[in-house]
Amino acid sequence: MGNDYYYECPHPVAIPPAKPFIESVKSGIKETLFPDDPFRQFKNQPASRKFILGLQYFVPVLEWAPRYTFEFFKADLLAGITIASLAVPQGISYASLANLPPIIGLYSSFVPPLVYAMLGSSKDLAVGTVAVASLLISSMLGKEVHPNENPKLYVQLAFTATFFAGVFQAALGFLRLGFIVDFLSQAAIVGFMGGAATVVCLQQLKGILGLVRFTHETDLVSVMRSVFSQAHQWRWESGVLGCCFLFFLILTRYASKRKPGFFWISAMAPLTSVIVGSVLVYLTHAEQNGVQVIGHLKKGLNPPSVSELAFGSPYLMTAIKTGIITGVIEGVAVGRSFAMFKNYHIDGNKEMIAFGMMNIAGSCTSCYLTTGCRTAVSNIVMATAVMITLLFLTPLFHYTPLVVLSSIIISAMLGLIDYEAAISLWKVDKCDFIVCMSAYIGVVFCSVEIGLVIAVAISLLRMLMSVARPRTFLLGNIPNSMIYRSIDQYPIANTVPGVLILQIDAPVYFANANYLRERISRWINEEEEKVKSTGGSSLQYVILDLSAVGSIDTSGISMLEEVKKNIDRRDLKLVLANPRSEVIKKLEKSNFMESIGQEWIYLTVGEAVAGCNFMLHRSKSNNPATDKDELDAHDNV
Amino acid sequence: MGNDYYYECPHPVAIPPAKPFIESVKSGIKETLFPDDPFRQFKNQPASRKFILGLQYFVPVLEWAPRYTFEFFKADLLAGITIASLAVPQGISYASLANLPPIIGLYSSFVPPLVYAMLGSSKDLAVGTVAVASLLISSMLGKEVHPNENPKLYVQLAFTATFFAGVFQAALGFLRLGFIVDFLSQAAIVGFMGGAATVVCLQQLKGILGLVRFTHETDLVSVMRSVFSQAHQWRWESGVLGCCFLFFLILTRYASKRKPGFFWISAMAPLTSVIVGSVLVYLTHAEQNGVQVIGHLKKGLNPPSVSELAFGSPYLMTAIKTGIITGVIEGVAVGRSFAMFKNYHIDGNKEMIAFGMMNIAGSCTSCYLTTGCRTAVSNIVMATAVMITLLFLTPLFHYTPLVVLSSIIISAMLGLIDYEAAISLWKVDKCDFIVCMSAYIGVVFCSVEIGLVIAVAISLLRMLMSVARPRTFLLGNIPNSMIYRSIDQYPIANTVPGVLILQIDAPVYFANANYLRERISRWINEEEEKVKSTGGSSLQYVILDLSAVGSIDTSGISMLEEVKKNIDRRDLKLVLANPRSEVIKKLEKSNFMESIGQEWIYLTVGEAVAGCNFMLHRSKSNNPATDKDELDAHDNV
């Protein structure tokens, strides 16, 4: 035992074997960009099998086509027709929301679903984003180009924005950067979507009240001013019709929510409304009494629009900006729908590529954005149904009243206002609730873009703040155990006399190193003052529990060095407990471990306290043998 | 025990008592903005004492003045004269670096130190930032206004920038937002400072080589092109003189580094160089042989410059931008010097206010930025010395050769290139080294502003990336203990058959919730495949060790809910170990605790494994009594 007699550490802290630099870079890249291990199925396969799997990977249609049966087809046929009956009126409605000709909404329900059927692999995708994207298009492009004064340029810019949304999404997917959409927190999305839905509903007041002129602003104040300044022009026919249809749509939605088997009721309701509305108008000639109708829609499939992409336009930057923002919003919807439908075997980045391709193809075929889709074949069915509509049925929409479209949009939007989620945010996490409400208020009272910026900024700020201000806890011993836990959480835990045990609750980075240095110093001050005022045994050891410090950077190492110097200056001893592999590696490389002494680094707080107690008693009695007994006695308490 | 017989949890997880909302907001604000508890000394004091302490808090001179003795004064006198002998030549040099008239450098060493002596409380401040700030002024303002073509406007803008730097700093301090400078990581600062010092040195080639024309760009390529395109105009007299002085200065710096007692040698060296250089030029009339000299400096103290503040100028935005950036750089220097000199009793935000006031006062008295200072009285001594210089000695600088100033700057800058820190970064943390080198390269090859932006962006990005991609570890049992640790770090640890123990290594936020969901699912997949291929006992339990999850947001809670659903679908059971107070509170409020069952939340991984093992054995034998024995046997292993 000799001169340097220490409490023998029962479980030494291991320093993990050093990895070669290249290997750690490789594993870092893998964890960062390929966390879902998308190529796992290729491992340990012969070359021919790899080729087939590869083809199936890039063109999923090859995967499911051989296994496709007639049973599947029957289900898909029904689903496809149901979606089509939803897609046709919604397509027309959303196009009018984007201030685009209604026919473009129909075009957009034809080509893109076909592209997605070939490339995509998700079975369920969120419906409703299209409304928000349409709103973004009308609000961002509408600022630069007036859709009524220069309709041709406006449509061109919408195609161009769609093109860039596609390019952006495909690029994110190819570079496997799809995770950047994760930086929008769920609370922010709830607020943003709710706000956007509210704004969309407010815009529908134009249709419901049968107004001809309307503001181009989207904020609540402007819309209300516009609505009430024209109070004398409200058309009661339009209003009554709108309220009836809205009531009908909400009722069917509520009914199918109560009985999930009746999904088709709410899916067919919009088409039913359109038909009933059109027939009503046709019979009563209401279009001559202030009820606005769609008017002429030309027959025929999507005309090509490659030549319409306005790359040379002075508004190119606006189109790019609009494209990127709508691309992100769609990306968020993709990510969110995966989370919602718990489909764990989907590669988000691949979906991003599929979405990107869909939008690029769409922008070249007179489409602006895409509607939701279910399975590949049901997509094809739906596209076929839309094709038939485009070829033969467009004249039937001539008498469709705009007020029905407004009702359809409102009823769809009401589902996006997730007030239940907001209430649960308030209950669980006030901070997230504030994020949510800020995004909502930003969208409703300022503009969609400002709301989005607020949502992203406040989410990031909140995250940075919690990184910058990690919590530190005083630990105490849980009676009858060797376990040490925060005294705040476990009031039964007892502090150890002469030993201050602190726990750092987050990784240590440059952003919190200064704070932690000050905070630890304050803990020690407070403890010393407490000891002075109560007259307990004086402070001898400071144990830092690093269990929750998953990583550390060089600023953090410097912080520890300074803390150690500060503790040494007060004639105390710094002891570390449970440094993780990242931390211990860096402590070793930076020579901090040498300066603190490896014997002062323990595997658990319990062992660290035992070691400290042993040293405390040894320095009092200077008799190792009895100490050992005392120590054991303590251990067994 | 009844039907629902569970392993009795020896140490239940406590849910901390709920704090009222207001109280948690209050403590949040305190931890965020007042982590150093600046008003601690005011607690439990009578009102009169509070008033005196308050006065002393805002005007520290009241605190130290009564205790000031003649002994202190002797030390301060020496220190003050030493700093003055450093400040006078450096002031002139830095002003020339900022393309300002040399006299402004002298003015800046007079008023601001006096202001700081009244308001500031730091004893040591980093010298050298002024050079970087000067460079920033010349590069940012010089882009808009040419200092030779429109010298009056240029000087006005420099004052205005100084004013806004002061306002910005004071505002940060008042709002207690000084911590935002923490978001520049130490690695980024090392790189940025080194780069700026390199750029400053490169600029001195003009003075050393006696060139008359010189580029206004600061990047390496432009400077080298400018230097070598004028190779025929290099003046050897100037070069030789410069190299001699540089050698002398570096030698004295080296000597005083070796023997810290000789600090005054390196402090006096610049003034000695100036005197020797001036005498040499005066005697040899070298100013007529291509050695440029300062020329006429006007006598007299600082003229007021309030009326020079160019608030109405079209370049106001440039001045504001320059002011904010130099303000941040100075703020970083303040924060860094506290860290360097380990002065724990200084309130960084108060120092920011003092700095801000100093710059505001300076901008009104023809000063542009400030030099370092030591103690309050030594500042006064120094200011007096500078005052005497301004009143009587300025003509003596007429013959001071510019090349000496360049040598002084270079020798000061070489100390800022902290190559040792860069080497240690490489050794300890490759990632931090990359941050450092990016900032360095950005400054040297692009520009100071770009370097700064790169440094901030890359630091933040790195932090966001580590938040977005926390590590997860597989835990195993350390033999002969109840301790569970990562198998990566402790290869001796043994996995438990039928139980997968995972540890999440960082707080769970929206930014990493998606990743963690995918990663945990991949861990389970891999474990199930391993069991399948090796034929061990099938997986039954997944234990998530939340020890390192200091906080969680609502996205994180949803992630846990989805993980639970996924685990349930695989017929496994999710068990939680050691949730922290933040986490358990939110789990309770979100009803997740109900859905998982409180009996499946354990205080330690050891107890969780014991519980799982007990259930495993019970389901096999269906005899609680024997299980209990087996369980105990396992515990004692």
Give the number of other CB atoms < 10 A from CB of residue A393.
15
User: Among residues 385-424 of chain A, which lie with CB inside 8 Å of chain B?
Assistant: 424
Nearest to A558 by CA among A497, A500, A510, A602: A510
The two structure tokens encoding residue A404: 């029905």
- Calculate how close chain A gets to B537, using CA atoms only, in Å: 24
pLDDT at B335: 62
Q: Would you say residue B214 has pLDDT above 50?
A: yes
- Calculate how close chain B gets to A318, using CA atoms only, in Å: 25
Task: Decide if domain B469-636 falls under CATH 3.30.750.24.
Answer: yes
Coil, strand, or helix at residue B402? helix
Q: Would you say residue B9 has pLDDT above 90?
A: no
Q: Would you say residue A621 has pLDDT above 80?
A: no
- Percentage with pLDDT > 70 across chain B: 90
**Mean pLDDT over the full length of chain A:** 82
Give the number of other CB atoms < 10 A from CB of residue A148.
8
Q: Which comes out higher in pLDDT, residue B33 or B575?
A: B575
A279-292 pLDDT per residue, tens: 888 888 877 777 78
Under the banding of pLDDT at 50, 70 and 90, the label for residue A630 is very low
Nearest to A621 by CA among A633, A609, A610, A629: A629
Task: Provide, as residue numbers in chain A, all residues whose Cβ is less than 8 Å from the Cβ of B589.
Answer: 427-428
Residues B76-95, mean pLDDT to the nearest whole number: 82
Contacts of A340 (CB under 8 A, 6+ apart): A124, A126
pLDDT at A334: 63
Are B355 and B326 contacting, i.e. CB atoms less than 8 angstroms apart? Answer: no
Q: Which residue has the tokens 């400290």?
A: A612
Q: Which residue has the tokens 């010393």?
A: A528
- Please state, in angstroms and rounded to a whole number, the distance separating the CA atoms of residues B370 and A531: 44
Q: Which comes out higher in pLDDT, residue A152 or B121?
A: A152
Q: Which residues pair with A499 in a beta bridge?
A: A541
Interface touch B486/A580, C-beta < 8 Å: yes
User: Among residues 499-538 of chain A, which lie with CB inside 8 Å of chain B?
Assistant: 505-507, 509-515, 517-519, 521-522
pLDDT at A65: 75
- Calculate how close chain B gets to A22, using CA atoms only, in Å: 11
Residues B285-305, mean pLDDT to the nearest whole number: 80
Residues B347-373, mean pLDDT to the nearest whole number: 79
- Calculate how close chain A gets to B347, using CA atoms only, in Å: 10
- Who among B14, B485, B510 is closest to A490 (CB)? B14
Could you tell me which chain A residue has the CA closest to the CA of B586? A428
* Integer Rg of chain A from CA: 32
Q: Which comes out higher in pLDDT, residue B474 or A56?
A: B474
Nearest to A82 by CA among A338, A341, A379, A340: A379
Residues B87-103, mean pLDDT to the nearest whole number: 85
Beta-strand (E) ranges in B28-179? none
Task: Provide, as residue numbers in chain B, all residues whose Cβ is less than 8 Å from the Cβ of A474.
Answer: none
Burial (Cβ within 10 Å: 0-12, 13-18, ≥19) of residue A313: middle
- Please state, in angstroms and rounded to a whole number, the distance separating the CA atoms of residues B357 and B171: 10
Task: Specify the pTM.
Answer: 0.80
- Return the amino acid letter for B227: V
Q: Touching check for B344 and chain A: CB below 8 Å?
A: yes
Under the banding of pLDDT at 50, 70 and 90, the label for residue A146 is confident
Interface touch A551/B506, C-beta < 8 Å: yes
The two structure tokens encoding residue A440: 């909502």
- Calculate how close chain A gets to B168, using CA atoms only, in Å: 20
pLDDT at B355: 83
Give the CA diameter of chain A: 108
Interface touch B550/A10, C-beta < 8 Å: no
pLDDT at B630: 42
pLDDT at A622: 55
Beta-strand (E) ranges in B490-580? 499-504, 541-545, 573-577
Residues B28-46, mean pLDDT to the nearest whole number: 75
Q: Is residue B115 left, alpha or beta, with left meaning phi > 0 and alpha meaning psi from -120 to 50?
A: alpha
Task: Provide, as residue numbers in chain A, all residues whose Cβ is less than 8 Å from the Cβ of B39.
Answer: none
Q: How far is CA A336 from the centre of its chain?
A: 6
Q: Which comes out higher in pLDDT, residue B242 or A54?
A: B242
In SS3 terms, B567-630 reads as: HHHCCCEEEEECCCHHHHHHHHHCCHHHHHCHHHEECCHHHHHHHHHHHHHHHHHCCHHHHHHH
Q: Touching check for B595 and chain A: CB below 8 Å?
A: no
User: Among residues 91-130 of chain A, which lie with CB inside 8 Å of chain B?
Assistant: none
The two structure tokens encoding residue B416: 């800022």
Q: What is the CATH number of domain A470-636?
A: 3.30.750.24
Task: Provide, as residue numbers in chain B, all residues whose Cβ is less than 8 Å from the Cβ of A427.
Answer: 589-590
- Please state, in angstroms and rounded to a whole number, the distance separating the CA atoms of residues A444 and B354: 42
What is the number of CB-based contacts under 8 A between chain A and chain B?
Answer: 243
- Calculate how close chain A gets to B595, using CA atoms only, in Å: 15
- From residue B52, alpha-carbon distances to A221, B37, B118, B120, B174 in Å are 52, 18, 16, 17, 21
Q: Would you say residue A502 has pLDDT above 90?
A: yes
- From residue B72, alpha-carbon distances to A7, A338, B64, B76, B377 in Å are 47, 70, 11, 6, 9
User: Among residues 162-181 of chain B, which lie with CB inside 8 Å of chain A?
Assistant: 179
Q: Which comes out higher in pLDDT, residue A444 or A60?
A: A444
Give the CA diameter of chain B: 108
pLDDT at A2: 38
Residue B46, CB half-sphere, CA atoms under 13 Å: how many? Answer: 2
- Please state, in angstroms and rounded to a whole number, the distance separating the CA atoms of residues B579 and B13: 8
User: Among residues 447-466 of chain A, which lie with CB inside 8 Å of chain B?
Assistant: 459-460, 462-466
pLDDT at A375: 67
- Who among A11, A471, A580 is closest to B478 (CB)? A11
Q: Which residue has the tokens 């809670």?
A: B557
Q: How far is CA A444 from the centre of its chain?
A: 20
- Who among A21, A431, A471 is closest to B430 (CB)? A21
Pairing assessment for the beta strands A472-477 and A499-504 based on DSSP bridges: antiparallel
Are B245 and B277 contacting, i.e. CB atoms less than 8 angstroms apart? Answer: yes
For the CA atoms of A120, A122, A123, A126, the dihedral, rounded to the nearest 10 degrees, stands at -110
Under the banding of pLDDT at 50, 70 and 90, the label for residue A591 is confident
Residues A257-265, mean pLDDT to the nearest whole number: 75
ipTM of the complex: 0.81
pLDDT at A372: 54
User: Among residues 20-49 of chain A, which lie with CB inside 8 Å of chain B?
Assistant: 21, 24-25, 31-32, 35-37
- Who among A14, A429, A468 is closest to B554 (CB)? A429
- From residue B589, alpha-carbon distances to A97, A161, A423 in Å are 40, 43, 12
First-to-last C-alpha distance (Å) of chain A: 27
Task: Provide, as residue numbers in chain A, all residues whose Cβ is less than 8 Å from the Cβ of B432.
Answer: 553-554
Could you tell me which chain A residue has the CA closest to the CA of B344? A518
Are B567 and B539 contacting, i.e. CB atoms less than 8 angstroms apart? Answer: no
Could you tell me which chain B residue has the CA closest to the CA of A35? B519
Q: Would you say residue B543 has pLDDT above 90?
A: yes
Q: Would you say residue A210 has pLDDT above 60?
A: yes
Q: Which comes out higher in pLDDT, residue A345 or B625?
A: A345
Interface touch A553/B179, C-beta < 8 Å: no
- Please state, in angstroms and rounded to a whole number, the distance separating the CA atoms of residues A325 and A360: 15
Nearest to A600 by CA among A499, A472, A483, A496: A499
- Taking CB atoms within 8 Å and a gap of at least 24, the contacts of B52-60 are B57/B350, B58/B119, B59/B118, B59/B119, B60/B118, B60/B119, B60/B120, B60/B121, B60/B376
Question: Can you give the residue ranges of every domain in chain B?
Answer: 68-256+279-465, 469-636
pLDDT at A345: 56
Residues B158-174, mean pLDDT to the nearest whole number: 90
- Who among B179, B428, B562 is closest to A557 (CB)? B428
What are the φ/ψ torsions at residue B293 (nearest 5 degrees)?
-120, 170
- Who among A186, A506, A519 is closest to B555 (CB)? A186
Are B568 and B522 contacting, i.e. CB atoms less than 8 angstroms apart? Answer: no
Interface touch A186/B470, C-beta < 8 Å: no
Contacts of B161 (CB under 8 A, 6+ apart): B137, B140, B141, B319, B320, B322, B323, B326, B368
- Return the amino acid letter for A235: R
Nearest to A340 by CA among A112, A125, A498: A125
- From residue A71, alpha-carbon distances to A61, A75, B138, B318 in Å are 18, 7, 76, 70
pLDDT at B624: 46
Q: Which residues pair with B486 in a beta bridge?
A: B475
- Please state, in angstroms and rounded to a whole number, the distance separating the CA atoms of residues B96 and B134: 9
* Integer Rg of chain B from CA: 32
Could you tell me which chain A residue has the CA closest to the CA of B493? A14
Q: Look up residue B392 and give its DSSP letter.
A: I
Give the number of other CB atoms < 10 A from CB of residue A427.
14
Pairing assessment for the beta strands B472-477 and B484-486 based on DSSP bridges: antiparallel
- Return the amino acid letter for B348: G
Q: Which residues pair with B501 in a beta bridge?
A: B543
Q: Would you say residue B508 has pLDDT above 50?
A: yes
- Who among B182, B515, B553 is closest to A179 (CB)? B515
The two structure tokens encoding residue B196: 């700026």
Which alpha helices (DSSP H) does B98-150 contain, by range?
Answer: 102-108, 111-119, 129-144
Query: DSSP for A297-366?
Result: ---SSPPP-GGG--TTSTTHHHHHHHHHHHHHHHHHHHHHHHHHHT-TT--HHHHHHHHHHHHHHHHTTT
Q: Would you say residue A447 has pLDDT above 50?
A: yes
Interface test with B, best of A344, A346, A558 (most B CBs within 10 A): A344
Q: Which residues pair with B476 in a beta bridge?
A: B485
- Please state, in angstroms and rounded to a whole number, the distance separating the CA atoms of residues A505 and A432: 20
Task: Provide, as residue numbers in chain A, all residues whose Cβ is less than 8 Å from the Cβ of B462.
Answer: 553
- Who among A31, A348, A511 is closest to B182 (CB)? A511
Q: Touching check for B488 and chain A: CB below 8 Å?
A: yes
Interface touch B185/A509, C-beta < 8 Å: yes
Nearest to B63 by CA among B430, B346, B285, B290: B346
Interface touch A187/B553, C-beta < 8 Å: yes
Residues A114-130, mean pLDDT to the nearest whole number: 66
Residues A554-568, mean pLDDT to the nearest whole number: 89
Are B159 and B383 contacting, i.e. CB atoms less than 8 angstroms apart? Answer: no
Q: Touching check for A557 and chain B: CB below 8 Å?
A: yes
The two structure tokens encoding residue B24: 């948690």
B580-613 pLDDT per residue, tens: 888 998 898 888 888 888 888 999 999 999 988 8
pLDDT at A535: 79
